[in-house]
Amino acid sequence: MIKKILLALVILAAFITSCEKDDKLTGGIKLICTNDNIIGANYYVYTESNYNSATKLAIKIGVVSKTTEIDDINPGNYIVYLHKAYSDEVIAVQVTAGLTRNYEIFFN
C-alpha cells in the first residue's frame, strides 16, 4: 500500500513540474504614430538579410493604425518598410523574446 502511495506521489510531482510556464520565445514591436499621415499605410516586416536580397519576402504584412502591434516575431533584427501613396519610410527594429518594443514613427 505504501508503495502505491509513493508511486502516486512521484507521478503527481512529475506532472506538476511538467506544467510549469514556458518562457515566451517570440517578441513583438509596437508602431506608434506621432502624426496622422502614416495611418492607413501598408507595412511590411522583413528579416534584415531578406530585405537586402533580390527577392524580398515579408514575414508580416498589414495596415498601420494609430497604434499597431505586430506580435509573434522571432528574436532578431528586422526592417519595417512603410508605404503610403508616393511616400516610403524604412525603419530598423530589434525584437527580443518576451518583450514588445515601442517605435514612434513620423511620416512626412
Positions of the chain with pLDDT under 70:
3-22
Q: Which fold has domain 23-105?
A: Immunoglobulin-like (2.60.40)
The per-residue pLDDT for 18 is 55
The per-residue pLDDT for 106 is 82
Prediction pTM value: 0.77
- Closest Cα partner for 62 from 43, 37, 90, 82? 43
Residue-range domain boundaries for the chain: 23-105
Distances (CA, A) of 41 to 4, 36, 59, 85: 65, 10, 17, 8
Helix residue ranges per DSSP H, 1-108: 2-18, 48-51
The per-residue pLDDT for 58 is 95
